[in-house]
Structure 1
Amino acid sequence: MAGLSAMQHPYVSVEGVTRAYPGHVVFRDLWFGVNRGEFVCLVGHSGCGKTTVLNILAGLDAPDAGGVIVDGQEIRGPSLDRAVIFQGHALMPWMTAEQNVVFALSCRHPRWGKARLRDAAREALDKVGLGQAADRRPAMLSGGMKQRVGIARALALDPKMLLMDEPFSALDALTRSALQDEVARLVAEANQTAFMITHDVDEAILLADRILLMTNGPDARIAETVVNTLAKPRNRATLHKLPGYHALRDHILEFLLTRSRTLAGTRPPGWDPTSPPEVRPAEAPLPVAAQ
């Protein structure tokens, strides 16, 4: 726990987590933390186990070794305290947008009456700009609108942690950009603890306070943690103009294009999995020791 102690007891503590199948180790001995109110992104190539990490955090999968502590309690299964936004909208097609949110709220607040549930659902849809579409079923909504309903449903639960599995990857560029800005705003307003996996470097730079860089699978590991020092609030249209943006982006791309492959399956001499190197490429030259 040496590496996590510096974070002063993070709200989420991933401790020595390993996931393997017969003859195949997906990832090994992952250690990282997420502080309360922090937005952390995990970046890596397909096959390194990013979605598996998120599923373990959600309680939908279990590690073969290690564990995850959230707010002092070890994860033993799914919980409404950890809301998930999936790649697909995962809406029930026979329900309206409002009814989809009401259903989730009724699970969270079984004692609430119909009027209170409906009002809370409408409020959540208003926050994502869909108040006028509350009575539409998913078939009547665009892809971006469906994802907005999914975001409204997750945030309406007032979760302790928001988990996102590349929720914008199937959307067109303009819709994706708009929703990224929307999520950045909503998470900031709620001081929401968030964890997201993504292939999109600019998405990670826009949203994250810290970016975890994962080597290629099999036997993947978190090679380093990049601290995002770009000023907030950020938006996609002006992100590239922020001082330090290009150094940060180049560092992440260099890792994905080169070091994620060359470091895969290796453990350098003296490697401490509880304390992967932390770099701040937006503030200083890249340290050679970061590898």
Structure 2
Amino acid sequence: MTDKFISIEGIARRYPKAGGGDTTIFENLWLSMARGEFVCVIGHSGCGKTTVLNILAGLDAPSEGAVIVDNQAIAGPSLDRAVIFQSHALLPWRTVLGNVAYAVASKHRRWSAAQINAHAQRFIDVVGLTGAEHKRPAELSGGMKQRVGIARALSIEPKIMLMDEPFSALDALTRGTLQDEVRRICLETGQTVFMITHDVDEAIYLADKVVLMTNGPGAVIAEIVDNPLPKTRARADVHKHPLYYAVRNHIIDFLVARSKSFDKGAAYDPRNVPVVRPGAAPADVSPFVPADAGTQSNTDRASGPGFPLARERTG
């Protein structure tokens, strides 16, 4: 679907300085998302990624500009928008089942207790906490607490899932399992997702588009990477795709070098940010047939540097 489901329109966030004046974290951000898109935002700490997410969640307000979701301006928190935080943010006096069921009951007020618990149990099973339903947060490891938070957000089946590095506290095996589950659920339900991550490989695996933000203060969106990997990609095959390393190297190059020296000169138009498709190849290229190592980035308007497709092949 190609409708403009989320529209971030010229938002800025400024905070007053102790000695007077303001510090601008970011300004003049414009971004639109279609219904069912999975978008990841990557940028260095301090560029305002979490603040943008909080504005989308209705937990913060922009200093200027507006955010429109499904043709309505955001005026505060809503059960249509679920947030998965970096920390677990659980109710310490409730059990695992109680925490998830509390969210379900908030969304489905007319359901019976049996319906609520059955629905909550389904998502507890999804995140691998079967058997821990009656434990309280103090009895859980950090990773288990975060899995409860993920189950809680998934359980209300929101229009928009807002995720602030939700897998960062998990061990590698659990993180991969939950990434697979979240991706499967999003594909099956058409879930719209706005996610913050510092993990380039995670972004490539999960996202349809990767938004690259420059360093703060005064951060802007430098470009949007349109992920050329197939929508139905599988974890075991992602790194075998001939365009994988072109995408990965392009994003890493931005984070290492271009995010620090980005030129916001006269040629930069925040309303028409370049959309790049690193290593773009003809549609009939097989995902398992190596492409020409000299393939360069192709963009809709402007191009970043191209990279050999096999660069940094270390794993």
Q: TM-score if structure 1 supplies the norm length?
A: 0.91
Is the Cα contact below 8 Å between 1:202 and 1:249 reproduced in 2? yes
Is the Cα contact below 8 Å between 2:83 and 2:161 reproduced in 1? yes
Higher mean Cα deviation, 172-181 or 223-232?
172-181
SS at match of 2:195: strand
Query: 2-side partners of 1:236 and 1:20: how far apart?
Result: 40
Q: Letter of the 2:174 partner, please give it.
A: T
> Is 1:15 the equivalent of 2:9?
yes
Query: 2-side partners of 1:96 and 1:64: how far apart?
Result: 39
> Is 1:275 the equivalent of 2:269?
no
Query: 2-side partners of 1:11 and 1:78: how far apart?
Result: 17
User: By how many angstroms is 1:186 displaced?
Assistant: 2.0
Query: 1-side partners of 2:151 and 2:240: how far apart?
Result: 30
SS at match of 1:132: coil
Unmatched segments (≥5 aa) in structure 2: 17-21, 282-295, 305-315
Deviations 1:164-190 (A, max 9, x none): 000111223333222222221222222
Higher mean Cα deviation, 167-176 or 245-254?
167-176
> Is 1:174 the equivalent of 2:173?
yes
Identify the structure with bigger relative contact order (alpha carbons < 8 Å, sequence gap 6+). Answer: 1
Q: TM-score if structure 2 supplies the norm length?
A: 0.85
Is the Cα contact below 8 Å between 2:10 and 2:66 reproduced in 1? yes
Compute the RMSD of aligned alpha carbons. Answer: 1.8
Matches of residues 1-291 of structure 1 in structure 2 within 5 Å?
9-22=3-16, 23-263=22-262, 266-283=263-280, 285-286=296-297, 289-290=302-303
Q: Letter of the 1:269 partner, please give it.
A: A
Is the Cα contact below 8 Å between 1:231 and 1:242 reproduced in 2? no
Is the Cα contact below 8 Å between 2:280 and 2:297 reproduced in 1? no
SS at match of 1:261: coil
Q: Letter of the 1:73 partner, please give it.
A: Q
User: By how many angstroms is 1:138 displaced?
Assistant: 2.3
Query: 2-side partners of 1:175 and 1:155: how far apart?
Result: 17
Q: 1:180 to 1:126 in 2, by over 3 A?
A: same
**Between the two proteins, what is the percent identity of the paired residues?**
59
Is the Cα contact below 8 Å between 1:228 and 1:282 reproduced in 2? no
4+ residue stretches of structure 1 with deviation over 4 A?
none
Residues matched between the structures, number: 283
Q: Letter of the 1:159 partner, please give it.
A: P
Higher helix share: 1
Unmatched segments (≥5 aa) in structure 1: 1-6
Query: 2-side partners of 1:39 and 1:20: how far apart?
Result: 28
